[in-house]
């Protein structure tokens, strides 16, 4: 799905997650996130970033949301329709997983009251 020549920058990741560039640089410096050096910039393959987020133990709803954000970012950078379509799919998954999670929590709370 993702073109092998298309990368995320440190700035892209910082914007997606509303964090500082320094925080992303820390992940790279610590070796937690793989990157490629192109000239003076460090680039991250979207697949590597998604794998990093999955390895942190994020739930399905969070991962779907993260992927939607990543694909929207790629779409805005490269204007490839398949990124837009993938972002839409991930938003649908996010909604589904979030609804399942809410139903589970509601049933859990009801059981806890008894």
Interval 52-95: pLDDT, tens: 999 999 988 889 999 999 988 888 888 888 888 888 888 888 88
Question: Is 2 within a domain?
Answer: no
Residue with tokens 């610590």: 30
Q: Would you place residue 2 in the very low, low, confident or very high pLDDT band (cuts 50, 70, 90)?
A: low
C-alpha 70/C-alpha 85 separation (Å) is 12
Q: In sequence order, what are the residues at sequence separation of 6 or more whose Cβ sits closer than 8 angstroms to the Cβ of residue 27?
A: 33, 52
Question: Is 50 within a domain?
Answer: yes
Q: Is the pLDDT of residue 25 over 90?
A: yes
Residue 4 has a pLDDT of 57
Q: Which domain holds residue 61?
A: 8-113
R_g of the chain computed on alpha carbons:
17
- When divided into structural domains, the chain yields a total of 1
Q: Is the pLDDT of residue 39 over 80?
A: yes
Which run of H or of E encompasses 42?
strand 41-44
C-alpha 5/C-alpha 18 separation (Å) is 25
């Amino acid at each position: 799905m993702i073109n092998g020549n298309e990368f995320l920058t440190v700035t892209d990741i910082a914007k997606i997650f509303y964090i500082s560039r320094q925080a992303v640089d820390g992940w790279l410096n610590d070796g937690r996130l793989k990157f490629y050096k192109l000239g003076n910039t460090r680039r991250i393959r979207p697949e590597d970033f998604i794998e990093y987020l999955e390895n942190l133990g994020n739930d399905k709803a969070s991962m779907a949301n993260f992927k939607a954000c990543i694909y929207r970012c790629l779409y805005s950078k490269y204007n490839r329709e398949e990124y837009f379509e993938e972002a839409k799919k991930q938003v649908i998954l996010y909604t589904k997983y979030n609804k399942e999670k809410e139903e589970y929590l509601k049933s859990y709370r009801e059981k806890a009251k008894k």
